[in-house]
């Protein structure tokens, strides 16, 4: 596998270091035919979710590209460290990600739940939802996330909030920018990041409950181009104790599906999205 020279590719300056796989869609190594391959994973320090750790969606998307399947499941066993070279070990159709001998994550072909999808909000509703994000001016454990952090100058600004008159639904707009792109389109990792952050449980966001991503299964239909106006929205299928099962869909202006995902979130015991300072 080869690596892409990312010196002139905006977000690819960082995304290109996610793994030893090229992110250039014209490169033969961009597609990974056959069984899962082995290699390495390194998440740039800028691509954080919680402080000091990788955004779960970005990391999962990087792992998914080692799997030859339309739908991939990634299980995060531990927080993914930033700036650390991890080993990716292919095993049959799946792979394991190791830090030395410690299992950090696993990826394998997956299947979406097929749960009924609620009516999609339009772009205007997604803008209003973003404006209703309850912690826009508050610093907390997730406020500096590269994907959903509302004040990250170098972030994607996919900041979900409750849809007007539909509080059980979260939504966010996403306009693919040059910084978010590789070869003129959003890389797989960024797409996974957008659906990951928006799949956060609506009830947990409203109650300031801190949750961490445990498992995500996603299928990407296509890579949206620079300048596309997109909407990503999510809902909770089930809650059992501290465990939330959610689904998310990324659509374009015509409401055609760009990507779908199912996610499992775990509420952290006795932790809230508490204020740690005002911006």
Give DSSP secondary structure letters for 98-115: EETTEEEEEEEE-----P
Q: Are the CB atoms for 100 and 127 separated by under 8 Å?
A: no
Q: Which residues pair with 46 in a beta bridge?
A: none
What whole-number distance in Å separates Cα of residue 38 and Cα of residue 40?
7
Nearest alpha-carbon partner for 248 in 143, 146, 126, 144: 126
Percent of the chain with pLDDT over 70: 82
Residues 79-129 have pLDDT tens digits of: 999 999 999 999 999 999 999 999 999 999 999 999 999 999 999 999 999
List, for residues 34-58, the tens digit of each pLDDT value: 566 788 999 999 898 888 899 999 9
Query: Strand, coil or helix: what is 82?
Result: coil
Name all domains of the chain by residue range, CATH numbers in brackets.
12-109 (3.10.129.10), 123-272 (3.10.129.10)
Specify the range with the lowest mean pLDDT, choosing from 6-15, 47-56, 70-79, 153-162. 6-15
**In the structure, what pLDDT confidence band is assigned to residue 270 with cuts at 50, 70 and 90?**
low
The whole-number pLDDT of residue 138 equals: 67
């Amino acid at each position: 596998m080869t690596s892409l020279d990312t010196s002139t590719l905006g977000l690819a300056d960082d995304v290109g270091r996610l793994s030893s796989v090229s992110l250039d869609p014209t490169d033969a190594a961009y597609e990974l035919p056959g069984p899962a391959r082995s290699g390495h994973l390194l998440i740039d320090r800028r691509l954080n979710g919680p402080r000091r750790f990788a955004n779960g969606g970005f990391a999962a998307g990087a792992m998914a590209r080692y799997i030859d399947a339309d739908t991939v499941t990634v299980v995060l066993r531990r927080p993914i460290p930033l700036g650390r070279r991890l080993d990716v070990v292919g095993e049959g159709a799946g792979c394991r990600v190791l830090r030395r001998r410690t299992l950090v994550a696993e990826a394998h072909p997956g299947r979406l739940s097929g749960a009924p999808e609620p009516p999609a909000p339009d772009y205007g509703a997604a803008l209003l939802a973003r404006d209703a994000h309850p912690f826009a001016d508050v610093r907390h454990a997730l406020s500096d996330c590269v994907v959903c952090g509302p004040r990250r100058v170098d972030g994607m600004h996919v900041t979900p909030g409750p849809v007007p008159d539909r509080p059980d639904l979260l939504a966010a707009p996403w306009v693919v920018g040059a910084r978010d792109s590789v070869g003129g389109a959003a890389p797989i990792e960024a797409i996974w990041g957008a659906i990951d952050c928006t799949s956060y449980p609506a009830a947990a966001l409203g109650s300031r409950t801190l949750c961490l991503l445990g498992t995500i299964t996603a299928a990407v239909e296509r890579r949206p181009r620079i300048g596309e106006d997109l909407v990503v929205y999510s809902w909770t299928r089930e809650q059992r104790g501290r465990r939330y099962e959610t689904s998310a869909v990324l659509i374009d202006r015509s409401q055609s599906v760009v990507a779908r995902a199912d996610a499992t979130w775990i509420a952290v015991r006795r932790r809230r999205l508490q204020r740690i300072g005002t911006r």
